[in-house]
Structure 1
Amino acid sequence: MIESGLQKKLKILLLGPNGQLGKSLKNHLEAFHELECADKKKFDFLNPTNFLDILKKSKPSLVINAAAYTDVEGAESNENLANQINSEALKYIASACETLDLILLHFSTDYVFDGNKNTPYHEDDTPNPISTYGNSKLLGEKIISDNMKNYIIFRTSGVISNNTNNFINKIMLAAETQKELKIVDDQITSLNHSDFLAEAINKILSSFKMEKVSSLGEIYNLVGPSSGTWFEFSKFAQRICKNHKKQSKFADINIIPVSSEEMNFKANRPKYSHLSSDKIKNNLSLTLPDWDKSILKLLD
C-alpha cells in the first residue's frame, strides 16, 4: 500500500506503456517516480496467469493499467480478443493486486453508456453499452470493483495524441488520398489529449495521502468540461491548419457532415456520451482543458 503522503518516489508498474495514453504516462511519471514498464513481452494480456509472479518480483507501490483493446469497429468481429484484453485479463490483475494489497489505477470509456441522455453522464448513472467494445470495458470495470477495494477507475473519451492512431491524425492522413471527408455530426462527446490525462494522473499521485482513502474504490470521469461532435472537432482542426498555413491537403479538403446511419458502422455508438467532470473537480480539485486545447496541443 501507499504510505503516509507521497513525498518519496513511488514505484509504479505501468501496463500498456506503448499505447497513446501509456506513452504519455511514461513521459510524465518517470521524472517523478520509479517507473517500471510492462510491455507485451513482459506481460501478455492473452496469457495473464503469471501476473502475481510479476508483481512479487517487481514489488511496485501501485499498478497503472493503460492497456486496452480500443478498436471499436474491430471489436465487433474480434469479440473474444476485445473481451480477453479489456476484461478477462483483469481477473488476474485485480486478484494479484488485491492479494498483495496494492492500488490499481485503470482506464475505461464513455462507451459504457447508451447515449440516451442529453446531459452529461455522471459516475453513478447506470451503464448500458451498445457495442462489443463498450461491453468489454464495462465487464472490466465490474471485475475490478467486484474483486478489489483499493482501485480507481478513470472513464475518459476521445483520446488523442501526437501518435498516428487517433481521430485527428487519421482524418489528416485520409485527406492525403481522398477528395472529401465524411464526418459524423450526430455523436456528441469530448476529445482529451493523452498528455493532459497523464498530467492529471501525476497530480493525483503527487497529492495522494492515506487520509484521502475515500478516493479509492471509486470511479471518476477524467475529461474536459466541454463537448462537441466529431464534425466540429474536424472543422476546428482544419481551421487551425489553415490559420497556421500548414502545408497539407487536410487544410483545404471538403469536410461533409453526415449521420451515423450514413456511415454504416459495424459498431453502434452512443449519440451522446459526454461525461460530467463535476466529481473529479469537487473531490480531487482537477479540471482538464476543453477539447479545443487538446486539438491545439496535437497540432502545435
Structure 2
Amino acid sequence: MKILLTGCSGQVGWELARTLLPLGDVIAANRSEADLSDPDGLRRTVQKLNPDVIVNPAAYTAVDKAETDRDLAFLVNAEAPRVLAEEAAKKSALLVHYSTDYVFDGTKNAPSTEDDVTHPVNVYGQSKLAGEQAIQATGADHLILRTSWVYAARGQNFLKTILRLAAEREELNIVADQIGSPTWARLIAETTAHILRQILLERQQDVFNSGIYNLTSAGETSWHGFAQGIVEIARQQGVQPLKNRVINPIPTTAYPVPAKRPLNSRLSTERLEQHFDLKMPSWDSALRLCMEEMV
C-alpha cells in the first residue's frame, strides 16, 4: 500500500512520517514536493504518485495573519483539500484530513460534538470549514479529524514559547478564559495510525462510512493552566534555569489580537473512542511525556 503524506516537516506531519511506516510505503512530501498553495501542481503530484491513501496534515495555520491573507488561507485550507479529495475519488483512494475546533464559535457550554452546528468566528476557521465541505462534496472516501491546541517538542508552538518566556521573564500574563484540550502532535499521529488500520479493514469489507471525528486529549484547561503545567514540569525536570515566578491569569480582552478566538475549544471525543475502541489520555499526562523527551 502506498501512502502519500503532505506537510511532513510540520508538527503533526513529522510524527505521522514515523507512525505510518508500519502500514505501507510512506511517501513523505514536504512543501516543495506537495505545495498546497499550488493546486494544479498538487494534482499532478497525486496523479504521478498514485497513492492508495492520502494523509493531509499540511495547512495554513497563521490564525491572525489569515485575517488579511484570506485568499491564501482559502487556497491552502479549502481548494487544496478539494483537489486531494477529487484525485482520491478518481482512484478510489482514502483521504485522511485534519481540521480544527475553530470551525465552531465557542459559545457552547459543553464540549462540541461532530454534529453541532458550525459557525467559525475567524478567517482561519472559515477556511478550514470550507475545506471540510469541499472534501465531503467530492464523494471521496474520507476521514476528517478535528483537533485543537496542538503542540510538540519541535517547531513553533505554545509549549516552546512558554519555555522560552519562562526562562526570560519573572512574570507572565496568560489568557485564562479560553478553555480547551492541549493535544500532543504524537498523540494525533499515533491515534491516526491506530484508526487507519481499522478503516482499511472496513474498506476491504465494504463497511466503511466516511465521516468526521474529534481527536484531542482528554480533560480541559485554559491557556493559563496550560502554561502553569508547562512551567511546573520544566521545574521538576530542572533542565533549564527559569526566571519565571508568577503567571497571571488575564481575560481575552486584555490580550487583543487580529483574529477572534472561541472561548470554548473543547471537543467531545466520545464518537472516536467508541468507534475505534480507544481511551484518550489526559492532556497533562501527555504533556509530561512530551516534555520528558525534551530533556
- TM-score, shorter chain, exceeding 0.5: yes
Residue 148 of structure 2 is aligned to residue 157 of structure 1: yes
8 A contact 2:235–2:242 mirrored in 1: no
| Deviation of the 1:214 alpha carbon | 5.2
8 A contact 1:110–1:156 mirrored in 2: yes
CA distance in 1, matches of 2:241, 2:287: 16
Q: Which of 266, 272, 280 is 1:280 aligned to?
A: 272
8 A contact 1:160–1:298 mirrored in 2: no
Residue 226 of structure 2 is aligned to residue 233 of structure 1: yes
CA distance in 1, matches of 2:44, 2:176: 48
Q: Which residue of 1 aligns with 2:60?
A: 69
Paired AA for residue 71 in structure 2: N
CA distance in 2, matches of 1:299, 1:169: 10
Distance 1:195 1:213, change over 3 A: farther
Normalised by the length of structure 2, the TM-score is: 0.93
Residue 210 of structure 2 is aligned to residue 222 of structure 1: no
Residue 260 of structure 2 is aligned to residue 268 of structure 1: yes
Q: Which residue of 1 aligns with 2:186?
A: 195
8 A contact 1:75–1:133 mirrored in 2: yes
Equivalent positions of 1:163-178 (< 5 A) are 163-178=154-169
| Deviation of the 1:263 alpha carbon | 0.2
1:72 alignment partner, SS class:
coil
Equivalent positions of 1:36-75 (< 5 A) are 36-75=27-66
8 A contact 2:85–2:140 mirrored in 1: no
| Deviation of the 1:51 alpha carbon | 3.3
Paired AA for residue 299 in structure 1: M
Distance 1:278 1:268, change over 3 A: same
Normalised by the length of structure 1, the TM-score is: 0.92
Unaligned runs of 5+ in 2: none
- Paired-residue identity, %: 33
Q: Which of 236, 247, 258 is 2:240 aligned to?
A: 247
1:269 alignment partner, SS class:
coil
Residue 88 of structure 2 is aligned to residue 97 of structure 1: yes
CA distance in 1, matches of 2:259, 2:206: 38
CA distance in 1, matches of 2:149, 2:161: 13
Deviations, residues 23-52 of structure 1 (Å, cap 9, x unaligned): 000021124421002212112212111334
Paired AA for residue 235 in structure 1: Q
Superposition RMSD in Å: 1.6
Deviations, residues 40-65 of structure 1 (Å, cap 9, x unaligned): 21122121113343223212111000
Deviations, residues 169-201 of structure 1 (Å, cap 9, x unaligned): 111112333342111000011011111111111
Unaligned runs of 5+ in 1: 1-9
CA distance in 2, matches of 1:248, 1:170: 15
